[in-house]
Structure 1
Amino acid sequence: MKLTFIDASHPLYPQELELRYQVLRAPLGFDRSSVKFPFDAESLHLVAVDDGRVVGCVLFHPEGPHTGRLFQMAVEPSRQKTGLGAQLVCTLEEALVARGIQEVTLHARAHVAGFYEKLGYEVYGKPFVEVGIPHLHMRRRL
């Protein structure tokens, strides 16, 4: 398996979008258009590729010179709980530190907040509902 950074013009981008849809939106009843964000082109995309297939991804959108938001973290269901998600986040964070990013925020689905807490993220603010399910604000200083 290889972790690689891509952008919205890369040939693997459609596979990334499909993985994001299948893991994050289809189970909630959303359509495919709900997975693409207006700022996808300005975001950093890290994908895990195995045998030519995207099996995991995480994105980061800068929101200031030293901060930004991690979003659309998705791992193929058969590969969840294997360490791939943590590997994606840690690899992304290494690249962010090299770019001068000092803090990462995210909106975590409440049922996976523990995953991010193990990686050093802390809950802040009040819980909220996004895409129809409970979420928590989380952040980490790099």
Structure 2
Amino acid sequence: MTSLEFREVAHGSPNYRETVRLRDRLLRAPLGLSFSASELDDEADDRHLAGFDTTTGKLVACLVLTPVEDGIVKMRQVAVEPRLQGLGWGRLLVEFSERFAVENRIREIVLHARETVVGFYLKLGYAIEGAPFVEVTIPHRRMRKRLVI
């Protein structure tokens, strides 16, 4: 049985570059987009969290937490290998990120969820805020969750 190990990866590290490849393949390339060097440079102050298959050691899931203001981060670029979607690993990654946030004195997570995954975040306790909007050509919803510190 495969299991995951979650941890933070350092910006610019080999594991970080793996997260960029996964995010690019799953989230950007399907939209005809790719990361620019300046976009990746801008991620230097973000927290990069990743899930690794404990059997193979391969990176299979990741997300980014970007500081918004004191005590608030934006969760973005959540990606899970397609063959592993629907197995609960995305939920485990988000739950890990919430524990990580609390340990780092973050009291709130905000995100822009693609309409197709709003239900996923609702089940995890995130609330919809405001009307739908279009971001990178796709309908999104603003969502928020207050954490217990």
Instruction: Report the TM-score, using the length of structure 1 for normalisation.
Output: 0.93
**Residue in 2 that maps onto 1:82:** 87
In the TM superposition, what are the counterparts of 1:32-51 in structure 2 within 5 Å?
A: 32-33=35-36, 36-50=39-53, 51=56
Match of 2:17 among 8, 14, 17: 14
Render the CA deviation track for 1:29-54: whole Å, top value 9, x for unaligned: 213439x4453111111111122321
Where in structure 1 are there 5+ consecutive unaligned residues? Answer: none
Alpha-carbon distance in 1 for matches of 2:46, 2:75: 10
Secondary structure class of the residue paired with 2:33: coil
Secondary structure class of the residue paired with 1:125: strand
Match of 2:127 among 83, 108, 122: 122
One-letter code of the match for 1:121?
A: Y
Alpha-carbon distance in 1 for matches of 2:18, 2:68: 26
Tell me whether 1:63 sits opposite 2:68 in the alignment: yes
State the identity %: 41
Alpha-carbon distance in 2 for matches of 1:125, 1:18: 32
User: Per-residue deviation at 1:63?
Assistant: 1.2
| Contact 1:39/1:61, CA 8 A, preserved across alignment | no
Instruction: Report the TM-score, using the length of structure 2 for normalisation.
Output: 0.89
Alpha-carbon distance in 2 for matches of 1:2, 1:29: 31
Kindly tell me the number of residue pairs found equivalent between the two proteins.
142
| Contact 1:15/1:53, CA 8 A, preserved across alignment | no
Secondary structure class of the residue paired with 1:39: helix
Alpha-carbon distance in 1 for matches of 2:58, 2:35: 19
Alpha-carbon distance in 2 for matches of 1:9, 1:48: 17
User: What CA RMSD, in Å, does the superposition of the two structures yield over aligned residues?
Assistant: 1.7
